């Protein structure tokens, strides 16, 4: 890889931290099958269960409520599909700005299982209306799952988890939140915030790809999704990804160790970017709430320029300068489509959208390089 590259696409994936690499290399020597009863197997089992305990302690939940998965998409699917299959859910309330890991399984269930899918409206900033949510919850006695993400990966909006959780509890609904962009980055106390399901993917906070977890509250009884050897307390059969779990554990410890300091540092970088971008292009728009410090992910800034034919190749031009950015979610790469999130909040104004997403290794010099390149490439 070009050592001069400026990497500003951490919301898509983040570079693995040295501490995480070290933990994974050590785990390679722990080769026993965790289901074996001999010493090698017990050593592997200890590694997995210690990781589970560490994560549960940080989230203030029980270790038995953490189920390791292949990442956030699997965890979202497990929560949503199990709610319908095992928990009697016949109605799902969500929003058009959700990640496709939520929208697609919900739409599939609507087609295949006669589940009613109701999408909340969003305003031009991408906000949902809690009064509308309450109206929907109070309008029916159907068993309902509310699925709303904590932090939007494209436009940075933050949801008030506590308020939504209170409404769900008041009306007897289950509450699932895709917390992939926030878990670890923000303090979440699962004893105080009564989520039924939350999801995690390690590669969003400098861990490895292909591993994450589902939090499923203890009182929620769901059936196995994969049958076989009965691993993960009979929830997800198959020999556990020991190396990935060790990496997830190390990354989670790392991101939680200096969370407040990193939030302050990255918010300062974000505030600087906002001021410089506005000074350079007075016509610039900030998608969603991403331009509001304190009301959005401190790792995400989503900007939009009028699509006048001059700016339509900006991402490619930045890449040629060694600056890695994205136009939104990386999960649709290769699909020649605009962002469904931007389309939901601004359907009638074509724009060139750029998402800048920072992380632990983002430096002031990198932001300065981006701003200099922006001045050169985006002249109005």
As annotated, the active-site residues are 331
- The residue behind tokens 């106390």 is 189
CB 94 within 8 A of CB 119: yes
Q: Which has the closest alpha carbon to 66: 56, 79, 75?
A: 56
Query: Hey, which residues does 305 pair with through a beta bridge?
Result: 352
* Residue 119 burial (C-beta neighbours within 10 Å; 0-12, 13-18, 19+): middle
β-pairing, 144-147 vs 174-177, is: parallel
Full 3-state SS string of the chain: CCCCCEECECCCCCCCCHHHHHHHHHHCCCCCCCCCCCHHHHHHHHHHHHHHHHHHHHHCCCHHHEEEECCHHHHHHHHHHHHHHHHCCCEEEECCCCCHHHHHHHHHHHHHCCCEEEECCECCCCCECHHHHHHHHHCCCCCEEEECCCECCCCCEECCHHHHHHHHHHCCCEEEECCCCCECCECCCCCCCCCCEEEEEHHHHCCCCCCEEEEECCCCCCCCCECCCCHHHHCECCCCCHHHHHHHHHHHHHHHHCHHHHHHHHHHHHHHHHHHHHHHCCCCEECCCCCCCCCECCCEEEEEEECCCCCCCHHHHHHHCCEECECCCHHHCCCCCCCHHHHHHCCCCCEEEEEEECCCCCCHHHHHHHHHHHHHHCCC
**Distance in angstroms (rounded) separating the CA atoms of residues 311 and 318:** 11
């Amino acid at each position: 890889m070009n050592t001069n590259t400026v990497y500003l696409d951490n919301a898509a994936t983040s570079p693995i931290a040295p501490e995480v690499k070290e933990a994974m290399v050590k785990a390679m020597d722990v080769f026993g099958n965790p289901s074996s009863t001999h010493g090698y197997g017990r050593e592997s089992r200890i590694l997995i269960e210690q990781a589970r305990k560490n994560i549960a302690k940080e989230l203030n939940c029980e270790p038995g409520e953490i189920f390791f998965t292949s990442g956030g998409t699997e965890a979202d699917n497990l929560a949503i599909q199990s709610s319908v299959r095992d928990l009697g859910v016949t109605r799902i309330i969500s929003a058009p700005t959700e990640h496709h890991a939520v929208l697609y399984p919900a739409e599939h269930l609507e087609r295949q299982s006669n589940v009613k899918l109701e999408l909340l409206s969003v305003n031009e900033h991408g906000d949902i209306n809690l009064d509308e949510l309450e109206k929907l919850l109070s309008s029916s006695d159907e068993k309902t799952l509310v699925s709303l993400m904590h932090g939007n990966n494209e436009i940075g909006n933050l949801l008030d988890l506590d308020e939504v959780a209170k409404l769900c509890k008041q009306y007897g609904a289950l509450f699932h939140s895709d917390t992939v962009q926030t878990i670890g980055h923000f303090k979440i106390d699962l004893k105080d915030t009564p989520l039924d399901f939350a999801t995690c993917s390690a590669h969003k906070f400098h861990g490895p790809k292909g591993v994450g977890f589902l939090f499923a509250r203890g009182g929620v009884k769901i059936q196995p999704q994969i049958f076989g050897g009965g691993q993960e307390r009979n929830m997800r059969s198959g020999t556990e990804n020991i190396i990935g779990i060790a990496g997830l554990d190390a990354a989670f410890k790392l991101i939680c160790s200096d969370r407040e300091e990193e939030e302050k540092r990255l918010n300062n970088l974000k505030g600087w970017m906002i001021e410089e971008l506005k000074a350079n292009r007075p016509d610039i728009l900030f998608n969603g709430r991403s331009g509001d410090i304190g009301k959005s992910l401190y790792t995400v800034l989503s900007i939009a320029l009028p699509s006048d034919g001059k700016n339509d190749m900006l991402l490619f031009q930045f890449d040629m300068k060694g600056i890695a950015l994205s136009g939104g979610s990386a999960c649709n790469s290769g699909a020649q489509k605009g962002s469904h999130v931007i389309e939901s909040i601004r359907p009638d104004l074509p724009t060139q959208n750029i998402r800048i997403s920072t992380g632990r290794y983002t430096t002031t010099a990198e932001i300065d390089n981006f701003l200099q390149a922006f001045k050169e490439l985006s002249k109005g």
